[in-house]
Amino acid sequence: MSDRYIDFVNSPFGQLVAKNLGLPNPMPLDRFDANAPVVKGTVLLGAANGGDLTDAIAKVLSNINAETLAFSDSGVQEAAASVGLNAQAYAPSAEDTQKFKALVFDASGIKNSAELKALHSFFGPVIRKMSGSGRIIVIGRTPELLDDAKYTTAQRALEGFTRAIGKEVKKGCTAQLVYVAPGADANLESTLRFFISPKSAYVSGQVVRVQATAIVGETPNWAQPLSGKVALVTGASRGIGEAIAQTLARDGAHVICLDVPQQEADLQRVAASINGSVLALDITAADAPKAIAAHCKKAHKGLDIIVHNAGVTRDKTLANMKDQLWNMVIDINLSSEERINDELIAKKILRANGRVICVSSISGIAGNMGQSNYATSKAGVIGMVNSMQPLLESKGVTINAVAPGFIETQMTAAIPFAIREAGRRMNSMSQGGLPVDVAEAIAWYASPASNGVNGNIVRVCGQSLIGA
Ligand code: NAD
């Protein structure tokens, strides 16, 4: 779908008009380009009080060949050198013209509230030196797993800081907080790669937890991390599902594209474009779970990744909502997913280091007028992630969800103009996301190196003002 305002506001005349009228000034966002480096510009790495995650962070920066500078006096230069990353020391001054594509800060050494000033000392002098589509990444320790009360408090405080600067930085920049559990440092790579790259274009203000886990991960070929994997995507004939199928196939997976029989022509088109296969059925049919499990077993001896993307809206205020609309939305968006998961588990279809990936919505977090059925179903999806995590983990499988905000699809093109414009602009990026932005987050969960990413709900909403 086209967003003509973005084109207008980025023309010389449009810029003048927007500036004088105080209108939102969205910037076209950088997106993944197979020929570009993971980070197209300089990374500034800093740390507070000898944080103990710096080695793990520097190792990832070294693996992606990031051109890195070490923030002066923060001790990171030595940590970087110890893992083979050459990072020159950098001390900011008001006059220097240095630009940064990413600011990465190891905050794990912040042990009490007074030490939070390290955030101010690091980010304050350089925040204006970010280039467009820049990345701010704060990395700390999972507060609820720490046994010192002051340390827990200080680490929890990082959340407010990160979300606030996400709202301050403009020019398509994002800000995230990654909490790494003690003992999980080696599980950081897939997450840091995702957040530092253009793949996370429309994700901002998010808090992610990387866990220590008994699930054994795999170090992939990062250009084709899903090679050898089989993924099933529901609702794959169009919109976000089509983008998910394309993105997982780009990353090397064989994708089984599932949609209702009425969509079979589009489904065939999508599957053919990615060398995938087709499974045309209605996920709410009584025999759907058995048919899915049997197909995966027969055609692929199992399944590595299932993406529960199929979903519908049937909006009415509660007083005007007929039983049928309520039941249909809950059944498609939630109950059918529970039934399919149960069958895949019962028949042992999901392989070790497998993935269950769900699509919630910010409506399921914040609620939305006229969407009591939809919001219930999408909050239920979050409940399903939380409730199924222990059982799936015991079987070597992770479960996570994305919660999209305003994504440019047929679903949102049908919204009346004024409401559509509000949805598009009321976020830190002042624009809607693209289906591929949701798909990239799903591909990060799907990565065989994301074994420590479990039970997360990540919003793909440009840091929408609606919801948490
Ligand atoms: P869409 O309507 O374009 O696509 C949904 C697909 O699901 C369709 O191809 C449809 O045929 C399929 N589907 C519906 N019922 C099915 C059933 N019973 N069995 C099998 N397939 C079925 O929607 P979209 O915008 O691409 O949304 C995809 C997902 O993202 C949905 O779960 C939606 O709730 C969620 N979402 C979308 C947005 C957005 O802004 N577009 C925002 C938040 C969440």
126-163 per-position pLDDT tens digit: 999 999 999 999 999 999 999 999 999 999 999 999 99
CB 378 within 8 A of CB 402: no
CB 277 within 8 A of CB 233: no
CA-based angle 155:159:161, to the nearest 5?
A: 100
198 Cα–ligand 1 center, Å = 24
Rounded to whole angstroms, the Cα distance separating 330 from 235 reads 16
Rounded to whole angstroms, the Cα distance separating 175 from 162 reads 6
User: Is the dihedral angle over the CA atoms 415, 417, 419, 420 positive or is it negative?
Assistant: positive
117 Cα–ligand 1 center, Å = 45
Mutational pocket test of ligand 1: of 1, 284, 312, 371, the residue with most ligand atoms within 8 Å of the beta carbon: 312
Mutational pocket test of ligand 1: of 247, 260, 330, the residue with most ligand atoms within 8 Å of the beta carbon: 260
Instruction: Return the ligand 1 atom nearest residue 282 CA.
Output: 19
Task: Tell me the two tokens of residue 95.
Answer: 């006059």
Rounded to whole angstroms, the Cα distance separating 138 from 214 reads 26
Instruction: Return the ligand 1 atom nearest residue 363 CA.
Output: 43
CB 141 within 8 A of CB 179: yes
Mutational pocket test of ligand 1: of 1, 203, 242, 259, the residue with most ligand atoms within 8 Å of the beta carbon: 259
Instruction: Return the ligand 1 atom nearest residue 433 CA.
Output: 40
pLDDT, mean over the chain: 94
pLDDT level of residue 436 (50, 70, 90 thresholds): very high
- Helix (H) and strand (E) counts in the chain: 17, 14
Query: What is the per-residue pLDDT for 18?
Result: 67
Query: What is the per-residue pLDDT for 21?
Result: 67
The pLDDT > 90 percentage for the chain reads: 85
Rounded to whole angstroms, the Cα distance separating 197 from 133 reads 9
Instruction: Return the ligand 1 atom nearest residue 237 CA.
Output: 9
Write the DSSP symbol of residue 34: T
Max Cα-Cα span within the chain: 68
460 Cα–ligand 1 center, Å = 15
Sketch the domain layout of the chain as residue ranges: 31-210, 230-460
Q: CATH topology of 31-210 equal to that of 230-460?
A: yes
Beta-strand relationship, 350-359 and 397-404? parallel
Q: Above 70 in pLDDT, residue 455?
A: yes
Task: Tell me the two tokens of residue 267.
Answer: 């489904």
Q: Above 90 in pLDDT, residue 248?
A: yes
Beta-strand relationship, 206-210 and 174-180? parallel
Instruction: Return the ligand 1 atom nearest residue 360 CA.
Output: 44
Query: What is the per-residue pLDDT for 97?
Result: 95
Rounded to whole angstroms, the Cα distance separating 108 from 141 reads 5
Rounded to whole angstroms, the Cα distance separating 451 from 393 reads 10
Q: Whose CA is nearest to atom 9 of ligand 1?
A: 235
pLDDT level of residue 467 (50, 70, 90 thresholds): low
Which pTM does this prediction carry? 0.96
Radius of gyration over alpha carbons of the chain, in Å? 22
CA distances in angstroms from 405 to 26, 82, 432, listed in the order given: 16, 41, 8
Rounded to whole angstroms, the Cα distance separating 279 from 109 reads 50
Q: Above 90 in pLDDT, residue 414?
A: no
337 Cα–ligand 1 center, Å = 13
Q: Above 80 in pLDDT, residue 24?
A: no
Domain 230-460, CATH? 3.40.50.720
Mutational pocket test of ligand 1: of 411, 458, 459, the residue with most ligand atoms within 8 Å of the beta carbon: 411
Rounded to whole angstroms, the Cα distance separating 298 from 315 reads 39
275 Cα–ligand 1 center, Å = 22
CB 4 within 8 A of CB 417: no
Pocket of ligand 1 (CB under 6 A): 234-235, 237-241, 259-260, 263, 282-284, 309-312, 332, 359, 361, 404, 406-407, 409-412
Domain 31-210, CATH? 3.40.50.720
Query: What is the per-residue pLDDT for 383?
Result: 98
pLDDT digits (tens, 9 = 90+) for 33-60: 999 999 999 999 999 987 899 999 999 9
The residue-averaged pLDDT of 174-198 equals 98
Active site residue ranges: 374
188 Cα–ligand 1 center, Å = 31
362 Cα–ligand 1 center, Å = 14
Q: Above 80 in pLDDT, residue 462?
A: yes
CA distances in angstroms from 287 to 84, 281, 283, 290, 313, listed in the order given: 55, 10, 9, 5, 23
Instruction: Return the ligand 1 atom nearest residue 238 CA.
Output: 9
